[in-house]
Structure 1
Amino acid sequence: MLHATGSLLTIDVGDRSVTTTDIDDELAAFIGGRGVATKLAHDRIPFDADPLGADNRLYFASGPLQQSNMSFTGRMSLTGLSPLTDGLLSSNAGGYLSRNFVATGHSVVEIVGESDELLAIHVTDEGVEFEPVPELEDAGVPAVTDAMNDRHGLESEHLVTIGPAGERVVRFASVMTYDERAFGRGGLGAVMGAKSVKCISFDGDSAPALELPNEDLHMEVHREAATSDDIMRRQGTTNLTEFLNDEFSLPTRYYSELEFEGAADIGGNAVEEKKYEKAACSVCAFACKLPTRDEETGLETEGPEFETVFSFGSNCGVDDVVDVMKSNELCDRYGMDTISCGVTVAAYLAANDEFGNAELVHDLVEQIAFREGDGDLLAEGVARIHDELGVENWAIKGLEHAAHDGRVVQGQGLSYAVANRGGDHMYSTTMIPEYHGKIDPEGTAGKAEHVIRNENLNALRDSGIICQFGVGRAVEDDRFERLFDADFQDLLSVGSRVVELERHFNNQRGFDGEDDWVPYDLPDLESSLQEYYDERGWNDDGTVPADRVDAIAGSD
C-alpha cells in the first residue's frame, strides 16, 4: 500500500527543543495526512489535556500524493484537540504549502509546549530556527507574510499563520496558509495562539524518496481536470446556491427559514461576475478557486465559497455579494473560520432583530477577532453562548452547523449527529447522493451504511491526500486502488480505523451516544443511531470497545 515517507519532527516551543522520530510503521498502517496524524495524536496527547494548554499538540501532515504531480493533491491536514468541540479534530487546507512542506524531509511536524514569547518558527531540511516576533502581535495574516518575505524571502506558499483571532484564542480561529486558504473548522488557530506561535515556515529541497505506482494515471487525471467543463471551475461551490435554494433548502436568518429571497444576488452568477482571474492549488489543473474584486470599492478577496455565502449571506439576511466578500476578507485577514464566525454572528443578529445589517456584521467580525465589546462573548461560539443570547443552539458537539440542512437532506442530518467533528458537512458528505437522487433525501432509516462508507472514504481521502472535488469527479474506487496499489476495501479499512481512533479519543473525554444529537427532529433517529453503532461494531452507548482499539494499535 502506498504511504507517505519521511520522519516525524517534534518541536517543543516551550524549551525550544527539536526531536526527529522514525514513524515508518504508523505511515504504513495509516498512509499519511489525517490518518497518521490521528494515530499520533491519539497516542501522544493526554486524554485529559486542556485544548489551550501546553500538553495539547498540533500535527501538520502530508500524504504520499503530495509528492506527485497529479491534480487535486495540493492539500495538507492539521490535527489537534479542538478548543471549540473539546474533541480530537482534523482540518484540511489547500494552496501551495504542501510541496514546500514535503521538501523539508518530514511527513509530520508536531508542535507541543507553550512559548513565553510570540514566535515565528522556520523549518527547513537543515534544521529549525526560532525567531521572536513581538512586533507582529495583532498583525493580520497578509502583514505577517509581508514581514516574512522582507526578512527571509518567504512568501505565503511557505507559511502557516494565525491572525489576531488566534492570539486571542477565539474558539473558531483558523490557521491560514497562502494568506486566504484556511485550516478552518474547529479552532486550531486558537491552539497555535495559545502556544504563542504566530507563524511557521516550511522550505527545503529534501523530499523523501518515494516510488509512485501507476504514474500514467496521474497524468490521465491531470488531463481530465484541465479539460473539464464543470461549472465548479467557474463558480466554485457557489454554483450550488440557487439550486439548493430552489430544490432543497438554503438556511436563512439563523436557520429560521429554508429559502432566501436574495439567493440570486449572492450566488454563483453574482460571484462569477466578481471573479477577475483563474486560481488553483499546487499542480492542480482544475483551477476552481475564486479571486474576486469589486471595482467600485477596490475590495479584493478569494471567494466567497458556498458555505460563506450561506453563513454571512442568507443566514445573516444579507443579500449583497460585496458585503459577503467583505466578511470573507475580514475572516481571512484576522484568521477565523467563516462558517463558525458567520453562524455566531447570525445568532447575535437573531437575538437583536438585526438581520440584514451588513455594517453591524462587519463590526462584529472585527470585535470577535480582537475580543472587544460583544465580540468577547461571541468569540466563544454558539454552543457556549446561545442561552445568554436567548437563541437555539445550532451547533453539534460544539461545532456550528453547516449550510447543508439535515432537516431536508436527512441522511446528512444523521451524519451530523454521529460525526466526531459534529456539524461539519465534509465529514461524511452524505448530502451528495441525496442531492443527486441516488438515495431518497427523506428519512434516516437504512442510511447508516451510506454514512459509514462516506466517513471511511473521506478519512482515506484526507490521508492520501486528495481534494474532495477530485473524489467522484476523477478518482473513483478503481482509481483509488491504482493510486495506492491496494484493494479498495483494505483502503476503506484504513479510513475506518481513523474514525474509530477519533471516536475512542473523544470517548475518553466523556463523549458517548448522548452527544450524537442534532438541533431538530429526524425520523427514526434513535433506531438509525443504533444501526450505525451496530454496523461499526461499537457498544450500544456509542463508545468504541477496548479490544477494537487494541487491534488498531496492533496494526502499526
Structure 2
Amino acid sequence: MLHTEGPLLTVDVAERTTETTAIDDVNESFIGGRGVCTRLAHERVPFDADPFGPENSLFFATGPMQASNMSFTGRMNATGVSPLTDGLLSSNAGGFMSRNFADTGYAAVEVTGASDDLLLVHVTDDGVEFEAVPDLEGATVPDVVDHVEETRDLGAEHLAAIGPAGENQVRFASIMTTAERAFGRGGLGAVLGAKNVKGITFEGDSRPDIEIPATAMDVHRDAATSDHIMKRQGTASVTDLANEMDGLPTRYHSERSFEGAQGINGDRVEEKKYQKGTCSSCAFACKLPTKDEERGVETEGPEFETIMAFGSNCAVDDIVDVMQSNDLCDDYGLDTISCGDTIAAYLASEDEFGNTDLIHDLVEKIAHREGVGDLLAEGIDRAHDELGVENWSVKGMEFPGHEGRLLHGQALSYATANRGADHMYASFYSVEYPLVPDEQAMPPSGFEGKAARLVERENHHALLDAGIVCRFSRDFLSDEQLADILDADFDDLLAVGNRVVTLERHFNNKRGRDADDDRLPFADELPDLDAAIAEYYDERGWTEDGVVPDNHPDVRETVGGADAAGGTAD
C-alpha cells in the first residue's frame, strides 16, 4: 500500500525543543494525512485534554499523493482537540503549502506545549527555529504574510498562520495558509493561539521519493480538459439548485428559500471573478479570485457555504457584501460558516436581518472579543440561551448550507458525524441533490439504505483525507484508479478509512460523547431518524449508545488493549 514516508517531528513550544520519532508502522497502516494524524493523536493526546491546554497537540501531515503532480492533491491536514466541538477533529486545507511541507522530509509535525512569548516556528529539513514576534501581536493574516516575506523571503505558500481570532481563542478561529485558504471548521486556529504560536513555516529540499503510478496523470489530464461549471463558479454554482429545491437556509434557519438568491448566486460570483484560481498542481482550477472595483473589495470566493452563512442566512442579497464578509474572515482568521451562522443568530435576536454594516462590525468584534463579540466568539451552542434563539448546531458545530430537512441522508450525516454538523464528512448531499450520476443517486427524502451508504461514504472520505486527495475529484478519480494509485485492494483501503472514523469516535467517547450528542434541532420533523441512527451504529459495530467498545477490533489492533483504555501524552 502506497503511504507517506518520514518521521514524526515533535515541536515543544514551551521548552523550545524538538524530537524526531520513527513512525513507519503508523505510516504503513494509515497512509498519511488525516489517517496518520488521527492515529498519533489517539495515542499521544490525553483523552481529557483541555482544547486550550498545553497537553493538546496539533498535528500537521500530508499524504503520499503530494509526491505527485496529479490534480486534486494540493491539500494538507491538521488534527487536534477542537475548542468548538470538544472532540478530536481533523481539518483539511488547500492552497500551495502541502508540497513545501513535504519538502521538510517529515511525515507529520506535532506542535505541543504553550509558549510564554508569541512565536513564529520555522520548520526546515535542517532543523527548527523559534522566532519571538511580539510586534505581530494582534496582526492580521496578511500582516503575518508580509512579515515572513520580508524577513525570510518566504511566500504565503510556506506559511500556516492565525489572525487576531486565533490569538483571542475564538472557538471557530481558522488556521490560514496561502493567505486565503483555511483549516476551518472546529477552531484549530484557537488551539494554535492558545499555544501562543502566530504561525509556522515549512521549507526544505528533502521530499521523500515516492513513486506514483501513471494512472495519476490520466486523472490530471481529464481534470485539465473537462468543461465543468465549478471551473467558472466553484461551489457557488449550487446556490440556485438549493434555493429551487427549498433547501437554502435563510434568516437563521427559519426559512428554506431566499427571495434574494439571484443577487448572491453562482452567476454573480462568476461576474466578479477576474482570473483563474487553483491549488498546487491542480488543473481543475475551481477557486474564485473575485473583486469589485467600485467598492474596492478583493477576496477569494465566496463559496456556497459562505454565500449561505453571510448571504441567505443573514438575509443579505448583494454578492459584494458577502465578498466583504469573506475577506474580513480571511484577514482575521475566522471560519466563514460558523462566523456567519453565529452572526445570523444575533441578527435574529435583534431583528436586524440584512444590516450589512452591523454584520461587518460584528466580524471584527468577534475576532477581537469586543463587546457582544465576546459572547458570539463562543459559537451558537454556548451563546444561544443568552441570545434567546434556537440552538442550530450539532456537537457545538454550526450548520452548513445543505439543508437536512430536505436531504435526509445529509441530516443523518450531520447527526452522527464525529465532527458534528459538517457537510464534508461524507458529502451525502451530492448523492441526494444529486450531483452524481443517476446510478449513484438516492432520493432526498427517507432513510432507506442510507445508513450503510453513509458508512461507506465516511470511510471513503477518510481514505481521501489520508491520501490526501480533494473531494472534488469525485467526477475524475474512480475507485479502481484510486486502488491502482495506492497499490491496494479497494476494500483494504476502505478499511483504513473505517479505522480512522472508529478511532475518532473512540477518542470522543472517552471525552463523554455518546448517542445523546447525535441529535438534530429539527429531529421532530424526521420521525424515522432515531431508527436510522440505530442502523448506522449497527453497521459500524458500535453499541446502541453510539460507543466504540474498547475491545473493538479497530481499536485493539491499532493501539493495543492497554492504550485503548486511555490516551497518553508524550
TM bucket, shorter chain: over 0.9
Equivalent-residue separation in structure 1 for 2:272 and 2:448 (angstroms): 43
Equivalent-residue separation in structure 2 for 1:462 and 1:168 (angstroms): 29
Unpaired runs of 5+ residues, structure 2, are 564-570
**How far is the alpha carbon of 1:208 from its aligned partner?**
1.6
* 1:445 and 1:524 in contact (8 A); partners too: no
Equivalent-residue separation in structure 2 for 1:429 and 1:284 (angstroms): 21
Q: 1:261 aligns with which of 253, 259, 262?
A: 259
Equivalent-residue separation in structure 1 for 2:448 and 2:530 (angstroms): 10
* 2:47 and 2:507 in contact (8 A); partners too: yes
**How far is the alpha carbon of 1:554 from its aligned partner?**
5.3
The residue aligned with 1:466 is 469
1:118-129 matches, cutoff 5 A: 118-129=118-129
The residue aligned with 1:552 is 558
1:13-24 matches, cutoff 5 A: 13-24=13-24
1:47-446 matches, cutoff 5 A: 47-212=47-212, 214=213, 216-436=214-434, 438-446=441-449
Equivalent-residue separation in structure 1 for 2:454 and 2:48 (angstroms): 29
The residue aligned with 1:525 is 529
The residue aligned with 2:34 is 34
Equivalent-residue separation in structure 2 for 1:104 and 1:48 (angstroms): 32
The residue aligned with 2:568 is none
Per-residue Cα deviation, 1:215-250 (whole angstroms, up to 9, x for no partner)? x21211111111110000000000000111012410
Equivalent-residue separation in structure 2 for 1:248 and 1:314 (angstroms): 12
Per-residue Cα deviation, 1:375-396 (whole angstroms, up to 9, x for no partner)? 0000000000101100000010
* 1:274 and 1:294 in contact (8 A); partners too: yes
Partner-residue secondary structure (3-state), 1:110: strand
Partner-residue secondary structure (3-state), 1:10: strand
**Structure 2 residue 508 is matched with structure 1 residue 494:** no
**How far is the alpha carbon of 1:445 from its aligned partner?**
3.7
Equivalent-residue separation in structure 2 for 1:130 and 1:551 (angstroms): 38
**How far is the alpha carbon of 1:501 from its aligned partner?**
0.2
**How far is the alpha carbon of 1:209 from its aligned partner?**
2.5
**How far is the alpha carbon of 1:2 from its aligned partner?**
0.5
**How far is the alpha carbon of 1:211 from its aligned partner?**
2.3
The residue aligned with 2:458 is 455
Per-residue Cα deviation, 1:175-197 (whole angstroms, up to 9, x for no partner)? 00011000011000000000000
Give the counterpart letter for 1:84 in structure 2. L
Give the counterpart letter for 1:58 in structure 2. L
Equivalent-residue separation in structure 2 for 1:508 and 1:109 (angstroms): 24
* 2:43 and 2:559 in contact (8 A); partners too: no
Give the counterpart letter for 1:41 in structure 2. A
Per-residue Cα deviation, 1:354-389 (whole angstroms, up to 9, x for no partner)? 000011000000000000011000000000010110
Partner-residue secondary structure (3-state), 1:547: coil
Equivalent-residue separation in structure 2 for 1:178 and 1:526 (angstroms): 42
Partner-residue secondary structure (3-state), 2:107: strand
Give the counterpart letter for 2:558 in structure 1. I
Give the counterpart letter for 2:557 in structure 1. A
Normalising to structure 2: TM-score of the pair? 0.96
Equivalent-residue separation in structure 2 for 1:16 and 1:209 (angstroms): 30
Unpaired runs of 5+ residues, structure 1, are none
Number of corresponding residues: 553
Partner-residue secondary structure (3-state), 2:431: helix
Equivalent-residue separation in structure 2 for 1:359 and 1:290 (angstroms): 24
Per-residue Cα deviation, 1:133-154 (whole angstroms, up to 9, x for no partner)? 0000011001111011101101
* 1:443 and 1:523 in contact (8 A); partners too: no
Equivalent-residue separation in structure 2 for 1:173 and 1:502 (angstroms): 21
Partner-residue secondary structure (3-state), 2:471: coil
Per-residue Cα deviation, 1:396-454 (whole angstroms, up to 9, x for no partner)? 00000111011000110001100000000000111111112611111224310011011
Equivalent-residue separation in structure 1 for 2:352 and 2:48 (angstroms): 40
Ranges of 4+ aligned residues in structure 1 off by more than 3 Å: none
Give the counterpart letter for 1:80 in structure 2. G
Equivalent-residue separation in structure 2 for 1:443 and 1:552 (angstroms): 36
The residue aligned with 2:507 is 505
* 2:514 and 2:547 in contact (8 A); partners too: yes
Using the aligned pairs only, state the percent identity: 62
The residue aligned with 1:537 is 541
Per-residue Cα deviation, 1:459-494 (whole angstroms, up to 9, x for no partner)? 001000000101x21111101111101111110000
Equivalent-residue separation in structure 2 for 1:363 and 1:305 (angstroms): 21
Equivalent-residue separation in structure 1 for 2:481 and 2:165 (angstroms): 41
Give the counterpart letter for 2:50 in structure 1. D
Greater shift in the superposed pair: 441-450 or 458-467: 441-450
**How far is the alpha carbon of 1:131 from its aligned partner?**
0.2
Equivalent-residue separation in structure 2 for 1:172 and 1:462 (angstroms): 21
Partner-residue secondary structure (3-state), 2:544: coil
Give the counterpart letter for 1:520 in structure 2. F
Equivalent-residue separation in structure 1 for 2:220 and 2:532 (angstroms): 40
Partner-residue secondary structure (3-state), 1:469: helix
The residue aligned with 2:567 is none
Per-residue Cα deviation, 1:97-116 (whole angstroms, up to 9, x for no partner)? 00100000101000000000
Partner-residue secondary structure (3-state), 1:225: helix
Give the counterpart letter for 1:511 in structure 2. R
* 2:33 and 2:62 in contact (8 A); partners too: yes
RMSD: 1.1
**How far is the alpha carbon of 1:341 from its aligned partner?**
0.2
